[in-house]
Structure 1
Amino acid sequence: MASIEKRSECSYRITVSAGYNSDGKQIKKHKTINLDPKLTEKQKEKELDRQSVLFQEEVERGTYLDADKLTFKQFIEKWLKDYAEPNLAPKTLYRYKELLDTRIIPALGHIKLSKLQPTHLTSFYNNLRENGIRIDAKYIAKPELQNLLSDRGLSHIDIAQLSGISDRTFSGMLSGMSVSHKTAQAVTKTLEVKLDSIFSLNGEPRGLSERTVLHHHRLISSILTAAVQWQLILINPATRVKPPSPERAEAKHFDEVQTDYILQLMEAEPLKYRTMINLAVYGGMRLGELAGIEWDDISLEKGLLQIRQAGQYLPGEGTFTKVPKNESSKRIISLPGTVISLLKQYKLWHNGQKAKLGDDLWVDSGRLFTAWNGEPMFPDTPSKWFHKFIQQHNKKIMEDEKISKEDKSKYLLPEVNFHGLRHTNATLLIGQGVDVTTVSSRLGHARTSTTTDIYSHALKKPDIEAANKLENLFKKKDSSEQSKQA
């Protein structure tokens, strides 16, 4: 039976017996409950009884967590199991686990949850900003690596196999090719030496961006908020830390002239990719949403496209389909006649591919964009193709001797990724005077404030035009009055 001890006006200590230890001494578990001071005495009594029963059940089941002994790492593991894994989207969960495993847990996991202070978080964020902290940095092997292999009598094949990397990668490394932090670390771990003894950083050492530091802060704050809600700590220390404030960068996009040029260039590209790019420019959908479109989602007669799912890929899980995280992402958008006409051409080509392979080889996934055999397209395929397209185009322009140096800049395309086509769609729509509510709806944003935050740069032009129109209105009135007086 649980016992209750009043500690202060609204604080109570519940004690429950958890059996006996090997010495025959009774094991007691304690939990402090803080009640709302607005509750009546009867309400307090009822809430204490409820909390006592729950606490005793937790102790009996062995699921009670002692906040005084619980480390931040242990709580993170519970948060992942009880909240994150059942509720978060697979890609979000994967990203969170990356942040937790690579930096947060190694730096803060050992600290007791109840002892975690704002100063711990501030020091952690400052460490993330330090030069050389990035794990996406590239490394070049020093001559010391070759000397070390010779001294130990190790061949290239031996060390490559022991490190879990290919012989080709290792040979390239010895000839001066830069490698990732993960590859360099695998070699140093195998040879049991420090990283900087056989590798040098390729380029200037850098810390994480303020935006990435903010991502760490938001994740930590979210986890600690759960700890408060689960009554393991009273206050979230992350709320007492000034969050990182990254400068808002303009979303990278193509301007009107560049977009028109890209659409012209698409005329010479394979129909499949021409259709992808046109859909992205005119539809503004996300990369995963494009991969998730099925033929049944398109009405060629009405010129409508339904967005209801997304194709995604995760290491270890492969390619899968997921529904949008919120209802606003499920939407129906109109497509112009140009795109509908292109889709009709593409459908004929797509059906031809299906007929060539036959029922034995063709997998009828129903997807708009597929692999060679009809299976859903790898979600990142459009992104990789578009990146390669820009690189090849720019290389061709630079090597074209018929184009003068002065004119080359007119034809070169900026390094904007595939997602930039979504930004391009929104920016051009706003620039053409389409209201933000309509743009937000087409993009699938949950709030119009999201649209205005991301595309504040595009909103400046209509805002200036609005101011000028108002000014012109009164100028006309003044001019009219002056003519009457004359």
Structure 2
Amino acid sequence: MKELYKEWQENTSIGDRTQKEYENIWEARILPLYGHMNAKDLKPIHISNFVKSLQKDGARLDGKKGKLSTSTINNCYKAFNSVLKFGVDMTWLASNPADNINPPTVQHAETDIYTPKEISILIKGLEKLVTLEKRTLVAIALSTSARQGEIVALEEKHCDFERDGIHVKQALIIKKDVGVVLKETKNKSDSFHYQKL
């Protein structure tokens, strides 16, 4: 498994952020259990047992009590599956033992949102503390669905003064071994947000 994992690290085409997340999972959870095995000896029961073990108390690595979230369990499964799928694509494996294993359905917690009164208090408080530029970033964050990296990558050319809106076309990301770089938005399409400028 170690050899397959190393090849995946050097040749995978997934995004840098996702790769880093998957590497952390492999190094903390998967390699300690299966690193000694030959990839061809891995069976669906190994993947099934791995997923089941993540659903038990004590599976957290941060020392806190309680179980892992369904989202974390799914990410662990995806990390395992990504390397095994790569093994199939490279003909190292005849089939993917993770194919017919179903991780638990992700359960999304209800998100708390600011009330209009809380937003008003926040805006008034910021007027005394920060610059107009920073208040504008907060206003964009509060009124759009743009991600943090998309907001900090906004430039004047993305402002549509005729329609009082902004075009989200790029994001700042941290790229492994490079640093901070500009990248097209995830779906490569132009997101337009109405926001009084």
Q: TM-score, normalised by structure 2?
A: 0.82
* 1:451-472 Cα deviation digits (max 9, x unpaired): xxxxxxxxxxxxxxxxxxxxxx
Q: Secondary structure at the match of 1:321?
A: strand
Aligned to 1:478: none
Say how many residue pairs are matched.
Answer: 196
Are 1:95 and 2:24 counterparts? no
Give runs of aligned pairs for residues 19-418 of structure 1, distance below 5 A: 72-82=1-11, 84=12, 87-137=13-63, 205-271=65-131, 272-313=133-174, 317-328=178-189, 330-336=190-196, 340=197
CA distance in 2 between partners of 1:252 and 1:228 (Å): 42
CA distance in 2 between partners of 1:315 and 1:226 (Å): 20
AA matched with 1:73: K
Q: Measured at CA, do residues 89 and 254 of structure 1 come closer, stay the same or move farther in structure 2, by a change above 3 Å?
A: same
CA distance in 2 between partners of 1:246 and 1:297 (Å): 35
CA distance in 2 between partners of 1:254 and 1:107 (Å): 43
AA matched with 2:195: L
Is contact 1:129-1:207 (8 Å) kept? yes
Q: Report sequence identity in percent.
A: 23
AA matched with 1:232: W
CA distance in 1 between partners of 2:139 and 2:82 (Å): 39
AA matched with 2:47: L
Structure 1 unaligned segments of length 5 or more: list them.
Answer: 1-71, 138-203, 341-486
Q: 1 or 2 for the larger relative contact order (CA 8 Å, sep ≥6)? A: 2
Q: Secondary structure at the match of 2:98?
A: helix
CA distance in 2 between partners of 1:89 and 1:77 (Å): 16
How far is 1:277 from its partner? Answer: 1.1
Q: Measured at CA, do residues 317 and 327 of structure 1 come closer, stay the same or move farther in structure 2, by a change above 3 Å?
A: closer
Structure 2 unaligned segments of length 5 or more: list them.
Answer: none
CA distance in 1 between partners of 2:185 and 2:58 (Å): 37
How far is 1:131 from its partner? Answer: 3.9
Q: Measured at CA, do residues 292 and 211 of structure 1 come closer, stay the same or move farther in structure 2, by a change above 3 Å?
A: same
Structure with the bigger percentage of helix: 1
User: If you compute each CA radius of gyration, which structure gives the higher value, 1 or 2?
Assistant: 1
Q: TM-score, normalised by structure 1?
A: 0.37
CA distance in 2 between partners of 1:284 and 1:290 (Å): 10
How far is 1:123 from its partner? Answer: 2.4
